[in-house]
A = this chain, B = another copy of it.
Amino acid sequence: MTSLPSASDIVLDRRLFGPGPTNAYPEATAALGLPLLGHLDPRFIEIMDEACEHLRTVWGTDNARTLPLSATGSAGMEAAFVNTVGEGDVAVIAVNGLFGERMCDVAARTGAEVIRVDHQWGTPIDAERVLAAHPSPKVIAAVHAETSTGVRSDIAALGAGKGDALLLVDAVTSIGGIELEADDWGIDVGYAGTQKCLGVAPGLAPFTINDRAFERRITKPQSWYLDLGMLGGYTGGATGKRTYHHTAPVAMVASLHAGLRRVLAEGLPTVWARHQAAGDALQTGLQEMGLELFAQEGYRLPELTTVKVPEGVDSAKVRGYLLETYDIEIGAGVGEFASTVWRIGLMGPNANQASVDLILAALRDAIDATK
């Protein structure tokens, strides 16, 4: 046995400029260090209730059933489908990237009939095509901000034309970064993640479902863990009493609570404007370097920029150099674009001009140094 220090004892201080997780707000990190509370402690219930209330604000909803599910964003996707569709139900799914693809897989496992409406990666969803795909689907599902391509789609257009269908929306990469108005846009069920623009560690899925969707839900879904009917105690409000379903991840909920307070203290429109300004500056800077953006103009997410790897440049080498020389992480592309696209995220605490200047300078160096 040795007590000598080892290199792995060095704590790395990465700048997380990839597609997420991003660095956490200091307030969110500090909350993780506080003593734990029991999951039925009156103080924890206050924290949970406040977190749910703040989540309503970032979702743009009045839904009583708005809560952080106790797993990551992908479990939020699963919760959305298993609670709304079952054997033979028709689910129209807009696919313009990896997360639309994933929706098809998740939905099919419920026995639903999946009608996928494919779009070229890098382009937004065409609401007209999606709405025309089936005369009476039970659900229509779409991704607001595609993390795989850096594209924003118009959710309000789907909500306006959805008719009797329920609208399911993935807001993992949009929540807390760009405008999101669940109620105004007609979103019936939405799920998100904590580790992007909310600036909190990954591990929870902020979730919202309105009365309309809840009334039509699958009453005994195939997932016990994600059964929204059993999670009633979490939603507070009406009953004011929390019932035991599973042990809440108390540290992560306290961290989300603190992160949301941070975001709302700054003010949601201000936070959105900060993300927009950082993204605009980054995208301008990249183009000034002679690089070409991947996502279609007019639909680019400010919080997550996709950029084509220049001819003759080795994507992985550049990413490795950034990590080793600058402690900076950026993301590779996804699927067929794995080695031809980079994904650069400026989310949460990283959405500022200092990050823009740092990543532009470091990327310029990395491209030169690895040629």
- Chain A residues with CB under 8 Å of chain B are 8, 11-14, 16, 18, 20-21, 23-24, 29-30, 32-39, 41-43, 46, 70-75, 77-78, 102, 105-106, 109-110, 193, 195, 201-203, 220-225, 245-252, 255, 323, 329
Contacts and interface: CB of A to CB of B under 8 A. Distances in A.
Contact of A251 (B13, B109, B203): B203
The complex is assembled from copies of this chain, and their number is: 2
Contacts of A41: 12, 14, 323, 329
B250 A106 contact: no
Chain A contact residues: helix, strand, loop or mixed:
loop
Nearest to A31: B32
Nearest to A195: B247
16 contacts: A12-B41, A13-B35, A21-B247, A38-B329, A70-B75, A71-B71, A71-B72, A72-B247, A73-B246, A74-B225, A74-B246, A78-B224, A109-B222, A109-B223, A193-B247, A201-B251
Contacts of A106: 224
A202 B35 contact: no
Given A71-B71, A110-B222, A14 B32 contact: no
Nearest to A251: B201
B78 A225 contact: yes
Given A12-B41, A12-B43, A41-B329, 11 more contacts: A13-B35, A39-B202, A71-B72, A74-B225, A78-B223, A102-B224, A106-B224, A109-B221, A109-B223, A201-B251, A202-B250
Contacts of A102: 224
Contacts of A46: 8
A239 to B, nearest CB: 17
A47 to B, nearest CB: 9
B36 A201 contact: yes
Nearest to A81: B224
B14 A36 contact: yes
Q: Which of A13, A21, A102, A106 has the most CB of B within 10 A?
A: A21
A365 B74 CA distance: 48
A220 B18 CA distance: 31
